[in-house]
Amino acid sequence: AVAAIVIVALIMANRINNQDRFSVSGSGIVYAKADIANLQVGLKTGAKKTAAEATAESTKKMNEIMTELVNLGIEEKAIKTSNYNLYPVYDYTNDRGQELKGYEVSQNVDLKIRDLSKIGDVIAKTTEKGANQIGNINFTIDDEYELKNQARELAIEKAKEKAVLIAKQSGMKLGKITGVNESYNDYRPVVSYSNAKMDMAVGAAEESLIAPSIQAGQNEIRVEVTVTYEIK
């Protein structure tokens, strides 16, 4: 009998906990100008006869690129190697099959640029020094704390407005808020930039390149909330 009473009590408690609840969602969006540009710069050597030759060329050019980045005011702590690969290159013909052509090196560094006015110069100057793989530009905001707070406040306000409207339309009576769940979405547009220094005419590498214009625009900070009410 005692066991039966406990089971019934648990079932009734579970029903009470799960009934008379109403959830509604809301989105809060704020926009702000980015203050950091993230950019990938790198190079890929042509096929060299030996791995040592490919490594030597890559090292020489990358050192020149790194020196140029420091000269442009990019802090060393804002430069991070993200990729380094040395690999064989093969040719294939129907007569001889697969033959070793040589070796190539590809190397990339990720940059964090805080002075957005330097983006074009970084692209142009590193290209002059041998970079032939540049891209994956995206813009971020260094401190998003206050922006997230603003977006959250808007999201909760919209969720409450929606809850009041739905309650009015359906005849429900809202009670107190019993819970709030939040999700955050950081939308960062990625700008593709293709660098084709390897395809430039002979002699053109001696000329200074015109810095491209890269626009940062605005970032969208979005917070989604789900607000749960008791129903009277």
pLDDT category, 197, cuts 50, 70, 90? very low
| Higher per-residue pLDDT: 231 or 2 | 231
pLDDT in tens, 119-159: 999 999 999 999 999 999 999 999 899 999 999 999 999 99
CB 232 within 8 A of CB 174: yes
Average pLDDT of the chain to the nearest whole number:
84
Residues 26-65 as b/e (b if ≥16 CB within 10 A, e otherwise) read bebbbeeebebbbbbbbbbbeebeeeeebbebbeebbebb
Neighbours of 126 (CB within 10 A): 30
* Best CA proximity match to 45, nearest among 60, 66, 24: 60
Residue 206 confidence (pLDDT) above 60: no
Largest CA distance in the chain: 97
pLDDT in tens, 29-66: 999 999 999 999 999 999 999 999 999 999 999 999 99
Residue 4 confidence (pLDDT) above 90: no
* Best CA proximity match to 110, nearest among 196, 46, 36: 36
* Best CA proximity match to 226, nearest among 185, 187, 177: 177
Q: What is the pTM of this model?
A: 0.69
CB 147 within 8 A of CB 141: yes
Question: Percentage of the chain with pLDDT > 70?
Answer: 81
Six-digit token string for 195: 């660098």
Residue 190 confidence (pLDDT) above 90: no
What is residue 184's predicted lDDT score, i.e. its pLDDT?
Answer: 76
